[in-house]
Amino acid sequence: MDLIVGGSILLSIFILLASVIWLKGYRITSRQVEYTALFPKVGFLQVGDPVSVNGLKMGTVKSIALFKTKVKVVMRIDKSVTITNAALVTVKNVGLMGERAVGIELSEEGKPIPTNKTGTEPVYIQGYFDSGLAEAMGMIGTVLGQVEVLVDNVGVIVDKTVGDSSFYVVFDRLVKRVDTLSLLASEMITENKSDIALAVNNLKLLSNELNVIVNDNRHNIDKLANNAVALTDRGLVLVDEIDSIGTAVGEIVHAIEHGDGTISLMINDDEMYQDIKKSLSSLDTLVNDIKGEGLKLRVTFRKNKDWGD
């Protein structure tokens, strides 16, 4: 009896352990490594929740803790899985009651992320949060509050317009004026229908004539456009030459102002000015004498020894 009781207990313990392993999805023969991801929030994610890789369960959540302004989640994942920095790691909703799981979508691009090592700072994976039914239910209260405010505003608008008796008087007057304007416009169009049709026909004829003129003189128009382009180019060249001339004149003026060159000396030298003034005065006297008495010549002969007597 003792042997039967002991065997039954051992068999029960074995069945219990096997059931726990099967329910948790542990793999006895597989080795697992750890990765750390940072999420803005995790909702109702708990320790032990599954970690799926491309839809297949390949691990579980080991720990959850705050890390500065984010949530740090340590995941145990099968060693055969290689996560790169291009992989998409998301906390997803997997149940109607707010159950959560970590979903990883692998990518062939990017560089592999090293696993956690004891005693060293882990390489953090950028994680994302996928809003689910629980978050949507939480937002219903906010939405209902905004709807209530909107309904109150609509009620105020209705009370000040449709609900106000004076609004009917203003609205009726406005409708009558619109009807009057519509009637006047209709009568004006009816009375001037022939004139309007004639004006439209004239516009059509004018448009056709313009098209004929343009088509007949297309060559001249193109030539005129080309001449305009050439004239523009020449104008630009002329402007450049004028700029060059202006620069040269500016340099000459600058040289005169700073005493460089003959012209500057003539302008700035007072003694030369007085000499020129005296010379002009003497020349003017000589001219006057010639006009009055004629030109007087004084000739002096000197005896040269070589000539003899």
**Per-residue tokens: 262:** 């003959």
Are 85 and 94 in contact by the 8 Å Cβ rule? The answer is no
Band of residue 27 on the pLDDT scale cut at 50, 70, 90: low
Are 67 and 54 in contact by the 8 Å Cβ rule? The answer is no
- What is the Cα–Cα distance from 9 to 4, expressed in whole angstroms? 9
Q: What is the C-alpha radius of gyration for the chain, rounded to an integer number of angstroms?
A: 53
**Per-residue tokens: 175:** 């409708």
Between 180-184, 208-212, 244-248, 267-271, the lowest mean confidence (pLDDT) is in 267-271
Span 188-229, pLDDT tens digits: 888 888 888 888 888 888 888 888 888 888 888 888 888 888
Span 28-69, pLDDT tens digits: 445 889 999 999 998 888 999 999 999 899 999 999 999 999
DSSP letters, 258-286, are: TT-SHHHHHHH-HHHHHHHHHHHHHHHHH
Are 77 and 56 in contact by the 8 Å Cβ rule? The answer is no
Choose among 57, 149, 145, 72: nearest CA to 104. 57
Tell how far CA 116 is from the center of its chain.
41
Look at 113 and 271; give whichever has higher pLDDT.
Answer: 113
Band of residue 267 on the pLDDT scale cut at 50, 70, 90: low
Does the pLDDT at position 295 exceed 60?
A: no
What is the overall mean pLDDT for the chain? Answer: 81
Residue 301 pLDDT: 57
- What is the Cα–Cα distance from 23 to 38, expressed in whole angstroms? 27
Measure Cα distances from 139 to 71, 134, 143, 146, 284 in Å: 22, 9, 6, 11, 111
Span 3-16, pLDDT tens digits: 887 888 888 898 88
Q: What percent of the chain has pLDDT over 70?
A: 81
Which CATH class for the 31-129 domain? mainly beta
Longest dimension (CA), the chain: 189
**Sequence-ordered list of residues with C-beta below 8 angstroms from that of 214, at least 6 positions apart, any chain:** 221
Does the pLDDT at position 255 exceed 80?
A: no
Tell how far CA 235 is from the center of its chain.
38
Between 99-103, 133-137, 191-195, 200-204, the lowest mean confidence (pLDDT) is in 133-137
Q: What percent of the chain has pLDDT over 90?
A: 21
**Per-residue tokens: 214:** 């343009």
Residue 28 pLDDT: 47
Region 112-138 average pLDDT: 84
Are 34 and 46 in contact by the 8 Å Cβ rule? The answer is no
Between 168-177, 194-203, 284-293, the lowest mean confidence (pLDDT) is in 284-293
Mean pLDDT is highest, among 1-15, 75-89, 140-154, for 75-89
Residue 306 pLDDT: 58
Does the pLDDT at position 298 exceed 70?
A: no
Region 128-145 average pLDDT: 76
Q: Collect contacts of 176-182 with beta carbons under 8 A, ≥24 apart.
A: none
User: How many CA within 13 A on the CB side of residue 70?
Assistant: 13
Are 151 and 63 in contact by the 8 Å Cβ rule? The answer is no
Does the pLDDT at position 122 exceed 80?
A: yes
Are 256 and 267 in contact by the 8 Å Cβ rule? The answer is yes
- What is the Cα–Cα distance from 250 to 181, expressed in whole angstroms? 71
Span 148-160, pLDDT tens digits: 888 888 888 877 7
- What is the Cα–Cα distance from 277 to 270, expressed in whole angstroms? 10
- What is the Cα–Cα distance from 243 to 251, expressed in whole angstroms? 12
Are 100 and 93 in contact by the 8 Å Cβ rule? The answer is yes
